[in-house]
Chain A
Amino acid sequence: MHKISRIGAALIIPLLLPACADQRILEELGTVHTTSYDLLPEEEGKSSKELLITMTIPKNDPENRKVREEILTTTSINSKGGRIRLSRKTELSLVSGQLRNVLFGSRLAKEGIWPLMDTFQRDPSISQRLKITVVDGSAHDLVTEKYPPHPMTGPYIERMLEKQEKSKMSAEATLYDFTRDYYDDGIDPIAPIVKKQGGNVVMEGIALFNEDRYMTKIPADEVLIFGFLQGDFRQGELSMDFGESANKEANNAMFTSLISKRKIKVFANRSRDDITVNVSVQIKGSVLEYNGKMDLSIDQDRRKLERLISEQITDKANDMISKMQKNNVDSLGLGQYVRNSMSYGRWKKLNWEEVYPHVRVHCKATMVIKDYGKFK
């Protein structure tokens, strides 16, 4: 008898405890896919800055058996407040458990996005794989614009970014990455930046943040160079043009199946505050296209081509690093390597923010041609 009542209690108590609070039946939900935030121009008599919040919600249209996208816009001073205001406009209860992408207008990004990131961190239903994206211009305009070949704007932008990431043409910036880099010593967060151009959304490059403020960007053409500097990867395509302007000959090459390896060495002299960072990049790839006078089946010519490319990548990489130093954004995480090279006490004493722009960084890239295709 005792046993039965104990089992009964074990079954009934859990049923009573949760008190059936938050049922969320699927078809009654508006699952927000993409949210965008813009900073509204400041108005007189308002104490805090107002945000322009736009959400896209994929919605079923049972009559036509099609999926439509509902776009809702409101103004609010914070994110969840905006959601409450938006829910007045729709018959669905808005939930953010399917949020995939969040877009920040460049004005807001320059002011700092951390106050908005707070809710993404706090809400347990939001995925850590949420993408953080910066929009060059107004995010609201980008989201509300109609792109005729792409009926659903939210998934269109998200999939475009995803594909770019896979081939290292964009940087990976999920909520997890962004927060980790934000809190970590010696690295600054990054995010892809997109732009409305003609009838499309175009990948514009990589936005570099200092803390949570958008400082500068790396143009789309140089994203791959940033990828070489950022770490090892095994995929991607590289197109190089090294034609000399004097003799107007076509001289360009395209590489595929890239294997890139990066090594960072830090020389931090104990006595002086003199830090040198050497970044060496080794790239292997196969030639898929070559227009020029050299014969790639000859070893010397191939070496020469390798040298040309190496030099060009080295130059670009050095330029990029000095640009980052000038803007004081350590997006490559050089600070982490410096930190690892010294004692904790010394790192604590070192004010990396101030030291970083003056650190000597040398980058050296070497290109190796694995093969030159089936053309002899």
Chain B
Amino acid sequence: MNDSGRQENKEPNMQPSMEYAMAELRNCADLNHLKLPEIGVDFVYFGHFIGSQEFTREISEPFTHIRADEVDQLLKRTIYKPITESQSLIKAILSGEVAVFHGSNTYSVKAYDPKSRAIEESQTESVIVGPHDGFVEEVEVNVSLIRRRVKSSHLKVIKLEIGELTKNHVYVMYINDVVNMEHVNELVHRISGVEMDAVFDGNMLVQYIEDNPNSIFPLFISTERPDTAASMLAEGKVIAILNGSPSVICAPASFFEFFSSPDDYYQRWPVGSALRLLRLFALFMTLTLTPIYVSVTTFHYEMVPETLLLSLAQSRSRVPFPPLFEAILMEITIELLREAGARLPTKIGQTIGIVGGIVIGQAAVQAGITSNILIIAVASSAIASFVIPSYIMSSCIRLVRFPLIILAGLLGNFGFMLGIGFIIVHLAGLTSLKNSYLTPLAPSNLKDWGDIFIRAPFSMLKKRPFVNQSPNPVRNKMRK
């Protein structure tokens, strides 16, 4: 376009002009330039950011039916924001506004309505009962989904910018008086401190702002469900929404919150409690089943009842490998299957399931490569790991299993307990926004246990979770 080899001038207080904008955005083929010479107005914008309805309402309708002397009057409307700095002019165009040039004056008008994915249910966090909407990539839609649920003037939103190159936006949301302001300040401070050219996903952002980015465990909850996010806000957490990502970050978090699902609250409390217990049992099972198989078959034959011992020995008798090697082999096979299934389209994924489950499982036993009891152990611990509602937590737990299996194979139950002990010590040392990760177990807060191991009836869940350090802890003023 107007590319005359002019020096780029980046002084922020320079008077904004169309020439400057065109120069700055040269070689951008997706830039649109609309001229209305009869009234002396120019529009510069990115066409794909602009909704056709908005464009008609704000631009084509008002400007085509007026005379040249009426333009000044029209531009006094508040929707046309006068721009005085050239830098903010570029920023406005890049974030989807239409730049209006009239004489020496520059305005911007919002007509932002990009094409985005429709609101649909989250694939990773689906529930049977309860709301079926999910966050999308568009931050404004996501904020709106939350404000639809929390219709309160106390719901505050802070807008931050992140990514030196991508100039992305993060919205930090909290409910005033319910949240502990220290958490908000800390989170805002950490997000503003991120010095990275590009951040694309909430889960990626988390790794820049966590207390311990090297830990295997996720320290902030991320969710794709607006109802979960709203409930986190009501509990007194701070949430952060990154534009372009359906994963919303919630902090501070405790380890046990990763094992609760919105389903627990939507079902009757005995059912919800049973589900909670089932998940904790699944955690226990996925961590212990294979390591115990390995340690029992390698060291502790005393531990098994006699009848089981015989069938264990029977299934092991044709296997040429030591139990440790056999177990690692099968665990890796299962992980291969899972990863292959995750990266493939659903239809091929099913084929993988059949090939893996039936063909490999059955054939491996018949060929005498593994024992069928190990197949049962590996398969049930894999299923148990998928019971954990948070996908991020579930993949951590699956990875943690491998060192446990190796320790169990080298040192038996002693090694296994050593590994478990190390995990617990590590968990106890973690913090999430400077709050202990194992709250309310350590530091202990007995009242919160009703919302961790079980889902107690709502009449008993009167206080906000201790981990949120809310200044206004009573949430349920219900009388029995």
A24 touches B422 (CB 8 A): no
Q: Looking at B313, B410, B411, which has the most chain A CB atoms within 10 Å of its CB? A: B313
Give Cα A24–Cα B317 distance, bound, in whole angstroms. Answer: 14
A98 touches B299 (CB 8 A): no
B297 at the interface (CB under 8 A from A): yes
A23 touches B299 (CB 8 A): yes
B422 touches A11 (CB 8 A): yes
Closest to B319 in A: A27
A243 at the interface (CB under 8 A from B): no
Closest to B318 in A: A62
A60 touches B313 (CB 8 A): yes
A65 touches B310 (CB 8 A): no
A94 CB to nearest B CB, Å: 12
Give Cα A18–Cα B297 distance, bound, in whole angstroms. Answer: 18
A97 at the interface (CB under 8 A from B): yes
B302 touches A25 (CB 8 A): no
Give Cα A58–Cα B306 distance, bound, in whole angstroms. Answer: 9
B155 at the interface (CB under 8 A from A): no
Residue numbers in B under 8 Å from A60 (CB-CB)? 310, 313-314, 317
| Interface class of chain B by DSSP | helix
B202 at the interface (CB under 8 A from A): no
Kindly state the interface size class of chain A when it binds its partner: 20 to 34
Give Cα A100–Cα B415 distance, bound, in whole angstroms. Answer: 28
A22 touches B411 (CB 8 A): no
Residue numbers in B under 8 Å from A24 (CB-CB)? 298-299, 301
- Which residue of the partner chain, among A31, A33, A65, A155, contacts B301 with CB atoms under 8 Å? A31
B285 at the interface (CB under 8 A from A): no
Q: Which residues of A32-70 have CB atoms within 8 Å of chain B's CB atoms?
A: 33, 58, 60, 62, 65, 67
B298 touches A14 (CB 8 A): no
B471 at the interface (CB under 8 A from A): no
B330 at the interface (CB under 8 A from A): no
- A140-174 CB mask vs B (1 if < 8 Å, else 0) is 00000000000000010000000000000000000
Known: A20-B410, A27-B317, A60-B317. A14 touches B415 (CB 8 A): yes
B418 touches A29 (CB 8 A): no
A100 touches B306 (CB 8 A): yes
A14 touches B418 (CB 8 A): yes
B302 touches A125 (CB 8 A): yes
A325 CB to nearest B CB, Å: 40
Q: Which residues of A107-162 have CB atoms within 8 Å of chain B's CB atoms?
A: 125, 127, 155
Give Cα A14–Cα B298 distance, bound, in whole angstroms. Answer: 18
A62 touches B301 (CB 8 A): no
A122 CB to nearest B CB, Å: 15
Give Cα A100–Cα B304 distance, bound, in whole angstroms. Answer: 13
- B310-336 CB mask vs A (1 if < 8 Å, else 0) is 101110111100110000000000000
Residue numbers in A under 8 Å from B296 (CB-CB)? 26
